[in-house]
Amino acid sequence: MTTFVPPEIDWLALAPLIVVLGAGVVGILVEAFVPARARRTTQIVLALAALAGGLAFVAVLWPQIVAQPVQVVGGSVTLTPFALAAQGIVAVLAFLGVLVVADRTSTGQDAFAPTASAVPGTSYEDLARRAGLVQTEIYPLLLFATGGMMLFASTDDLVVMFIALEVLSLPLYVLCATARRRRLLSQEAAAKYFLLGAFASALFIFGVALIYGFAGTVRLLQIAQQVQGGMLPLEGMSVLLVAGVLLVTVGLLFKVGAVPFHAWTPDVYTGAPTPITGFMAACTKAAAVVALVQVLYRTSIGVQAVDPQILRQLQVVIVVVAIATMVVGAVVGSVQSDVKRLLAYSSIAHAGFLLVGIAGFNAQVQASTLFYLLAYGLSTVGAFAVVTLVRERRVASGSRSGEDNGPVADDGVVLGEATEIAQWAGLGRKAPWLTAAFGIFLLSMAGIPLTAGFVAKFGAFSGAVTGGLWWLAVLGVLASIVTVAFYLRLLVVMVFRRADDETVPEQVPDAEDLDASETAGASGGTAPAALATAQVTAAQRVVVTVARSRGPAAVAVAVCAVATVILGVFPSPVLDLVEQASKFVP
Amino acid sequence: MEITNYVVLAAVLFAIGATTVLLRRNAIVVFMGVELMLNATNLAFVTFARLHGDLTGQVLAFFVMVVAAAEVVVGLAIIVTIFRTRRSASVDDVNLLKG
Structure confidence by residue, pLDDT tens digits, B15-62: 999 999 999 888 889 999 999 999 999 999 999 998 888 888 899 999
Q: Which of A195, A217, A267 sits opposite B31 (nearest CB)?
A: A195
Residues 6+ apart with CB under 8 A from A455: A371, A375, A567, A568, A571, A575
Integer angstrom CA distances of residue B47 from A340, A580, B10, B44:
46, 42, 9, 5
pLDDT, average across residues A343-368? 85
CB contact under 8 A, B18 and A198: no
Mean pLDDT computed over A139-152: 95
Contacts with B47 from chain A: Cβ below 8 Å: 213
Rounded to the nearest angstrom, the minimum Cα separation between A416 and chain B is: 17
The band of A512, judged by pLDDT with boundaries at 50, 70 and 90, is very low
Q: Please give the pLDDT value at position A584.
A: 61
- B9 has a chain A CB within 8 A of its CB: no
Residue B92: is it exposed, middle or buried by C-beta count within 10 angstroms (0-12/13-18/19+)?
exposed
Task: Give the H/E segment covering residue A528.
Answer: helix A526-536
Does any CB of chain A come closer than 8 Å to the CB of residue B94?
yes
Residues 6 or more apart whose Cβ sits within 8 Å of residue A394: A408, A409, A410, A415, A540, A541, A542, A543
In one-letter notation, the amino acid at residue A557 is V
Domain that holds residue A168: 11-378
B38 touches chain A (CB under 8 A): yes
Which neighbouring-strand residues pair with A392?
A: A544
pLDDT of residue A91 exceeding 90, the answer is yes
Q: Are A159 and A208 in contact (CB under 8 A)?
A: yes
pLDDT average, residue stretch A500-509: 46
CA nearest B94 in A: which residue? Answer: A188
Query: Touching check for B41 and chain A: CB below 8 Å?
Result: yes
Contact B37 A212 (CB under 8 A): no
pLDDT over 70 (residue A310): yes
Higher per-residue confidence, A461 vs A521: A461
Give the mean pLDDT of A268-278: 92
Output the CA torsion sign for A344, A350, A354, A359.
positive
Of chain A, the percentage scoring pLDDT greater than 70 comes to 87
* Residues A333, A335, A337, A340, Cα dihedral to 10°: -10
Residues of A in contact with B39 (CB under 8 A): none
Chain B residue with the nearest C-alpha to that of A272:
B97
The model carries a pTM of 0.88
Judge whether residue A316 has pLDDT over 70: yes
- What pLDDT is stored for residue B82 in this prediction? 86
Which among A170, A183, A218 has CB closest to B70?
A170
Q: Which of A102-106, A147-151, A334-338, A579-583 has the lowest mean pLDDT?
A: A579-583
A330 close to A349: Cβ distance less than 8 angstroms: yes
Sorted by where each starts, the structural domains of chain B and their CATH numbers stand as 4-86 (1.10.287.3510)
Mean pLDDT, chain A, rounded, equals: 83
- A451 belongs to a structural domain: no
Closest residue on chain B to A341 (Cα): B99
Nearest by Cα to A300 from A282, A284, A315, A281: A315
pLDDT tens for residues A16-34?
A: 999 999 999 999 999 999 9
Q: Which of A128-137, A226-235, B53-62 has the highest mean pLDDT?
A: B53-62
* Predicted confidence (pLDDT) per residue in A391-434, tens digit: 887 776 554 444 344 444 444 467 778 888 888 888 888 888 98
Q: Domain total for chain A?
A: 1
**What value does the mean pLDDT take over residues A463-472?**
84
Q: Out of B48, B82, B85, name the one closest to residue A213 (CB).
A: B48
**Poorest-confidence range of A165-179, A332-346, A350-364, A560-574?**
A350-364
A512 lies in a domain?
no
- What is the least distance, in Å, from the CA of A218 to any CA of chain B? 9
- Whether A490 is covered by a domain: the verdict is no
**Tally of CB atoms within 10 A around A123:** 9
Lowest-confidence segment of A184-198, A323-337, A518-532, B78-92 by average pLDDT? A518-532
Domain presence at residue A300: yes
Q: Which of A183, A198, A213 sits opposite B7 (nearest CB)?
A: A213
Instruction: Provide the shortest C-alpha distance from residue A211 to chain B (in Å).
Output: 10
Residue of chain A minimizing CA distance to B27: A195
Query: Which of A76, A141, A162, A212 is most worth mutating to test chain B (most B CB atoms within 10 A of its CB)?
Result: A212
Average pLDDT over residues A238-265: 89
Residue A61 lies in a domain: yes
Nearest to B34 among A198, A233, A234 (CB): A198
Whether A585 is in a domain gets the answer no
ipTM above 0.85, yes or no: yes
Contact residues, chain B, for A197 at CB < 8 Å: none
Q: Is residue A415 part of a domain?
A: no
Residue B68 contacts A, CB cutoff 8 Å: no
User: Where does the pLDDT of residue B87 fall: very low under 50, low under 70, confident under 90, or very high at 90 and above?
Assistant: confident
pLDDT digit string (tens) for A426-456? 888 888 898 999 999 999 999 888 899 999 9
Partnered with residue A544 across adjacent β-strands are: A392
The whole-number average pLDDT for the span A495-500 is 78
pLDDT at residue A514, as a whole number: 39
Residue A310 maps to a domain: yes
Asked if B18 has any chain A CB less than 8 Å from its own CB, the reply is yes
Quick one: closest CA in B to A166, which residue? B67
Q: Output the pLDDT for position A360.
A: 76
- pLDDT of residue A170 exceeding 60, the answer is yes
